[in-house]
Amino acid sequence: MSRLSESVVRAMEILKGSDLAADYTVARLLEETYRRRSLDLSDLSPAEQAALVEGRAINVIPSASGLAEKITAAQAEGRSLVVKYGIDPTSPDVHLGHSVPIIIASRFQRMGHHVVFIIGDVTAKIGDPSGRSSERPPLTDADIAHNLSGYQQQVTPFIDFTRADLRFNGEWLNKVSLPELVGILAHVPVSMTLQRDDFRNRLAAGDGLSVAEFVYSVVMALDSVAITADVELGGVDQLLNLQMCRKVMEIREQTPEIIITTPLIEGTDGTGAKMSKSKGNYVGLSSSPDEIFGRVMSIPDHLIEPYLKQLTEWTDEEITTVTGRVADGTAHPMAVKRILAGEVTAALHGLKAAEAARAEFTARFSKRTFGEAQNLPAVSFQEHAETPLVTLLTQVLGFAASNSAARRVAAQNGLRLIAEGVDGEQHTTQLDEGSTQQALSALVGEAELTGEATFYLKAGRKIARIDV
């Protein structure tokens, strides 16, 4: 029995018969699955390795059996596979959506293969046109350096960089001659690039499409040639780029890499849109444990299963067991969601931080006794007595992005002033849109209270204490 199978047996004992809402159960389960993130998988057979990868992929091209054969051949040669994952540093922020292929890279690494992270310092200046309706603005060297400054630190929880290479494609792309590039382009059919819906749509609409964008995937493919990649990972939106990598490797008389694409994880709002900072439906890898736990807890129930599949080390057997218990009523979706939130928080900050975030969330939202919460932001009543509520929400606390957003929360009955007595009893005042223009002193003064109390301001799921 493999080490992974032994871990699954232990986890299944917990998942099948224990109370999934109990803190003790959750602690045991998270301890088991957290250890799995660093579990040595080198005892898996080539077929088992390929199956583990395929189970979380959208595409394995040409096939999972081809991947198993490639692993077998590499073992016969006494070497590990070279697994490529490339990113263009177009933003300084990394979120959970970016971690999905990196988690697969971690599994390859723990199977004994060699992972190469390629930073596209040259290709970032062209800009990946995938999914774009317009040309990306060009990045300067300063932009790229800024965006890269925190990247490695943010993804380190998912990958061991002491056993992986981190390389810049300028290392070889800056040496490519024009005759060399033209020689490759002469063998790439234009129809291969025009398969892209984004290109056809832009051309049909009369929008700009630069030659640089047109050859982006060819330039990116030279990364695979430079490191003689056996496998490449990427989101499913990168499929056509990755297929070009296979084509260019073939042109350069190399064995084409196997390409593996992963799902684009849906954002926390559950609207169907992919996770994106611009949409505000993301979980940042650099966020605090409390924020990560809370954001995962905010997802709708239908996202629990795909998040378990893409963001954890759970197997299909374990996921089927827990979703089955939800279906038959022996486990509550909220309990499973708390386990999921603990999984993600532990991956980024460790088990102790996950346990503390769970306790903090329980204090804030389950027991509804805000006095038990340890890390609430606070507003000084003395300093902000005459500050309008809308200013507190937007400029002081950052609970709303704009004045209109603050009013919208109020219009949706999400804005409340809560007075909590020393015995935990609460008195809630619903605040309407008009209240957002009132000073804090007026709102506190209108609260009907008897006895000593602590005030809390609640906007949606965000809470702040008012220090009177």
List, as one string, the DSSP characters of 286-350. Answer: TS-HHHHHHHHHTS-GGGHHHHHHHHS---HHHHHHHHHHHHTTSS-HHHHHHHHHHHHHHHHH-
> How many whole angstroms separate alpha carbon 80 and alpha carbon 112?
7
Spans of the chain below 70 pLDDT: 127-138, 196-200, 202-209, 366-369, 371-372, 374, 423, 448-451
For residue range 208-252, list pLDDT tens digits in order.
667 777 788 899 999 999 999 999 999 998 898 899 999 999 999
pLDDT of 132 reads 47
Please name every residue paired with 466 in a beta bridge, in sequence order, or none if there are none.
379, 455
* Residue 254, strand partner residues: none
Q: Please name the residue that has the structure tokens 């309706």.
A: 133
**Strand 426-430 relative to strand 415-421, pairing:** antiparallel
pLDDT digits (tens, 9 = 90+) for 264-295: 999 998 888 899 877 888 898 989 999 999 99
The model's pTM is 0.77
Residue-level pLDDT at 9: 96
Q: pLDDT value at position 133?
A: 42
What's the Cα-to-Cα distance from 270 to each of 63, 235, 267, 359, rounded to whole Å?
31, 19, 6, 25
- Which H or E run includes 18? none
Domains and CATH numbers, the chain: 1-38+267-366 (1.10.240.10), 40-262 (3.40.50.620), 378-467 (3.10.290)
